[in-house]
Structure 1
Amino acid sequence: MNFEHLVVINDPADPALGELTREELWFGLLCRAEDPRAFLPGLETCTIVERSDMELVRELKFGAAVIRDRVTLVPMESVRFESERTESHAGGTLTIAIEEPAPGQLVLRFRYLTTLPDDAGSPDRAYVEYVKSAYHQSDLDTVRVIRMIAESTRFQ
């Protein structure tokens, strides 16, 4: 399955959104990489097993399920999460990119690549649509949490 969508962060035409700086947005994405518990319901622990300047290797524990992934950071631009395929987990990648299509307008592009079949004739088509909807809602929740983090750090 290949799925991508945008979430508008700043839109000068819609001041009700509340403005975030690129730095605040990036900090929120780093928080999601370092300790994603606030972003991923059901996540019990996140253990970083390897670290370099631009990469993390993590083990995410959801009850009995443990997912290992690699997080690649491109500072102020993008975060890529690549989960390993296992017997109980399909694996795949999520890239979250910060884009600025016009001055002052920031958006996040969420791009998913998974092993789920995405062809129109697939018997899993309804399930794939459900997964896309769940990913979209999770991404909206990610932005909500980033906004909360930005608000809480502005007054410190």
Structure 2
Amino acid sequence: MKFEHLVEVNDLADPAATALSREELWFGLLCRAEDARPFLPGLEACEIMERGEGMLLRELRFGSAVIRDRVTFSELEWIRFESEATPEHAGGWLTISIEEPQPGALFLRFEYRTGLQEDGGSEDGRYADFVRSAYHQSDLDTLKVIRMIAESGRLQ
């Protein structure tokens, strides 16, 4: 399955809205890499197994399901989560890119590629629409968590 969409971060037309900087947005994405629990409901543990230049290897525990993934990134630009396929998980990747078509107009582009088939006649195909909807809601929630992180940092 392939799925991508944009989430607006800063609404420049609304002067009352609190704008995030690229750095605050990036910091929030790094928080998601370091400890994904606030970003993924049901995630019980997020353990960093290895660190390298621009890379993390993690183990995520959702109850009895364990997912291993690799996080790679380019600072202030994009972050990618690549998960291994398991019997409980189709595997795939998610890339989150920061886009700024004009100064201060920040967007997050979420690009998903999974092993889930989109053929309309298959069980996976019927499930794909549900998965896309869940991903979209999760991405909106990601921005909410990043805003909470940024706001808590501003209070110090």
Q: TM-score, normalised by structure 2?
A: 0.95
Contact 1:73-1:79 at 8 Å conserved across structures: yes
Query: How many Å apart are 1:16 and its aligned residue?
Result: 4.8
Contact 1:9-1:17 at 8 Å conserved across structures: no
- CA–CA distance in structure 1, aligned partners of residues 37 and 82 of structure 2: 17
SS in 2 for 1:41: coil
Query: How many Å apart are 1:102 and its aligned residue?
Result: 1.8
Alignment CA distance shift 1:123-1:68 (3 Å): closer
Aligned to 1:87: 87
Contact 1:6-1:108 at 8 Å conserved across structures: yes
| Range 44-53 or range 119-128, more displaced | 119-128
Count of residue correspondences: 156
Contact 2:120-2:126 at 8 Å conserved across structures: no
Alignment CA distance shift 1:119-1:46 (3 Å): same
Alignment deviations for residues 114-150 of structure 1 (CA, whole Å, 9 cap, x no partner): 0111234444333100000000000000000000000
Query: How many Å apart are 1:89 and its aligned residue?
Result: 1.2
In structure 1, the gaps of 5 or more residues are none
SS in 2 for 1:126: helix
Aligned to 1:72: 72
Report matched runs for 1:109-148 at 5 Å: 109-148=109-148
Identity of aligned residues (%): 67
Query: How many Å apart are 1:53 and its aligned residue?
Result: 2.4
Alignment CA distance shift 1:136-1:17 (3 Å): farther
Aligned to 1:61: 61
One-letter identity of the residue aligned with 2:131 = V
Aligned to 2:105: 105
Q: TM-score, normalised by structure 1?
A: 0.95
- CA–CA distance in structure 1, aligned partners of residues 58 and 86 of structure 2: 15
